[in-house]
Amino acid sequence: MIKRKRALATLLAAVVVGSVFVGCGKGSSSGNSDQKVTINLGADPKTIDPGLNSTVEGSRVINNVFEGLTNLDKDGKSVPGVAEKWDISEDGLTYTFHLRDNAKWSDDKPVTANDFEYAWKRVLEPNTASEYANQMFYLKNGEAFNSGKATIEDVGVKATDDHTLVVTLESPTPYFLSLTSQATYAPVRKDIVEGNTSWTLKPETYVSNGPFKMSQYKPKDTLEIVKNPSYWDNSNVKLDTVAFKFLENESSALSAFKSGQLDVLPSPPAAETPKLLEDGSAKAYPYIGTYYYNLNVSPKTAENNPEAAKALNNPKVRKALSLAIDRDALVNQVVQGGQKPATSFVPSSVSDSEGNTFKSKDYYTSSANTEEAKKLLAEAGYPEGQGFPSLEILYNTGQGHQNVAQAVQDMWNKNLGVNITLRNVERKVHLDEMKNESYLIARDGWIADFNDPVTFLDILVTGNGQNRPGYSNPEYDKLMDDAKKESDPSKRFELMHKAEDILMNDMPVIPIYEYSNVVCVNPKVKDIYLSPLGSIICKDAHVEK
């Protein structure tokens, strides 16, 4: 019976793959050009607007079709992008970027400094409602303008001519050049974007300035990009086409990879991962990120579910839930992709420009501390789980997320005596419910925007667009504000260590594991860059004939 079920599951997966890839031919590298690569994104991105995106799925598209002032090379160093050079003032507050003369948009119009000024101020404009607006708070008066305390003219970014952009910062920011390579800092055209909320949905209006441009977009199916003939470095781009597929079912996606219909498959099924790693079909790449659970501590929870709020607003309950999780068992028996148990929020792979690792302590053991967890839950008024409200874990479609949720559900039931339900939704719904704080517990993850602890700790600052738990602690906010203004590296780390101490004591998030980027790549695809920041960069990639 078991064998018959497996055979049926395999057959159904093959049928699904076949229906999704009708017309694809024998494999993704066949057809009009051998220089084509097909990549699975998993979920259809919620948005591919550089100023609005906050997901890995979206950035994997954006970083191939847009280019910022700088790029990051394979060593994580800032190299010229649209800006061919820049000057930094002695006090570290003023950056003058000199744009290259031959930078063009995909409709062949020149990229100007005004495009960057407009794009950055658009992110800060309150009506834009960008979840990444805080990324622009490094600009002089950026936060003040976003909160209505300054005018748009006061913001520290100014195009002095078509090829010169002068940027003034609130305080010296050693990683600012890294920020200018991020999707949020990409330029967009005012004449394209203004008044057109659907500009990202059609090739005619999705005007971009990177190595590739959109050629077709079929929501929930395929987003295809092609070589951009107007790109300034077009002669070094070898691929003609990159097709992004949206296969959320991991088994179907793996079948598509094995049949040659996918060339790049991030996050294969957890059950298959050990075998794929062993036979070389998959490799584990560095990935700077933490997989965690949000605990909704916002006032909305008290309004909608008082009993749940009473439990979730008690730090002893939150710590008990964290301590009752056996992270060793999760990474070794459930996710099985080379992940590391997360015993802090900032992952151990984060370092400074000198290579000094930020992580200095474990806030709890990687195995479950059931005795302490039970004690804390009893002190919170729920001995052996008695009277504990029914809570729900929200997670987005994906077998891996389901496996983790089921394992955590079982651990909390066995170790604490509490009952937890699970709810699976598609990715866009998952993101909306977290943004609206209309959940109790939700799976989440954060991949570094750049290699610095501030990219993790900053998201839990009061009012940050990524602060899904609705967490607020003035002391934490003050430490993070001081850290962002501190230029001395050791003092910066000291301030952020104190901030993480507060965070892990309050526990609005429960770190589960440190990511490992397990990816299946067709051996014919060469020089594709799987960034530790989550991007899949195709600029230098090619298909070996």
Whether residue 226 sits in one domain with residue 181: no
Give a yes or no: residue 195 inside a domain. Answer: no
Whether residue 213 sits in one domain with residue 73: no
Give a yes or no: residue 197 inside a domain. Answer: no
Collect all residues with Cβ–Cβ distance below 8 Å to 218 and sequence separation of at least 6: none
Distance CA 382, CA 395 (A): 26
Domain with residue 417: its CATH number is 3.10.105.10
Give a yes or no: residue 222 inside a domain. Answer: yes
Distance CA 510, CA 423 (A): 18
- 340: closest CA among 511, 540, 538? 511
Give a yes or no: residue 29 inside a domain. Answer: yes
Give a yes or no: residue 52 inside a domain. Answer: no
Q: Which pLDDT score is estimated for 67?
A: 98
Quick one: CA dihedral 73, 77, 79, 82, positive or negative? positive
Q: Is 369 helix (H, G, I), strand (E, B) or coil?
A: coil
Whether residue 311 sits in one domain with residue 274: no
Whether residue 177 sits in one domain with residue 105: yes
Q: Which pLDDT score is estimated for 545?
A: 84
Distance CA 239, CA 291 (A): 33
Q: Which pLDDT score is estimated for 204?
A: 96
Q: How many domains does the chain have?
A: 3
Q: Which pLDDT score is estimated for 479?
A: 98
CB 443 within 8 A of CB 395: yes
Cβ neighbours of 233 (radius 10 Å): 15
Across 169-234, the runs of DSSP E, i.e. the strands, are 212-218, 222-227
Domain with residue 269: its CATH number is 3.40.190.10
Q: Which pLDDT score is estimated for 178?
A: 93
Collect all residues with Cβ–Cβ distance below 8 Å to 335 and sequence separation of at least 6: 270, 273, 400, 403, 404, 513
Give a yes or no: residue 135 inside a domain. Answer: yes
Residues in the chain with pLDDT values less than 50: 1-31
Beta bridge partners of 517: 285
Q: Which pLDDT score is estimated for 9?
A: 39
In our burial notation (b when 16+ CB lie closer than 10 A, e otherwise), range 473-504 reads beebbebbbebbebeeeeebbebbbbbbebbb
**DSSP symbols for 69-115:** SEEE-TTS-EEESSEEEEEE-TTS-EEEEEE-TT-B-TTSPBP-HHH
Q: Which residue has the tokens 């699976």?
A: 424
- 226: closest CA among 443, 76, 36, 450? 36
Q: How far apart are the first and last CA of the chain?
A: 44
Q: How far from 10 is each of 251, 266, 490, CA to CA, in Å?
A: 8, 20, 54
Q: Which pLDDT score is estimated for 5?
A: 36
Whether residue 396 sits in one domain with residue 491: yes
Whether residue 493 sits in one domain with residue 532: no
Structural domain harbouring 338: 289-515
Domain with residue 160: its CATH number is 3.90.76.10
Whether residue 311 sits in one domain with residue 282: no
Whether residue 392 sits in one domain with residue 438: yes
Whether residue 461 sits in one domain with residue 341: yes
- 451: closest CA among 354, 518, 338? 354
Whether residue 526 sits in one domain with residue 407: no
Whether residue 282 sits in one domain with residue 293: no
Whether residue 134 sits in one domain with residue 269: no
Give a yes or no: residue 278 inside a domain. Answer: yes
Distance CA 171, CA 458 (A): 16
Give a yes or no: residue 484 inside a domain. Answer: yes
CB 139 within 8 A of CB 168: yes
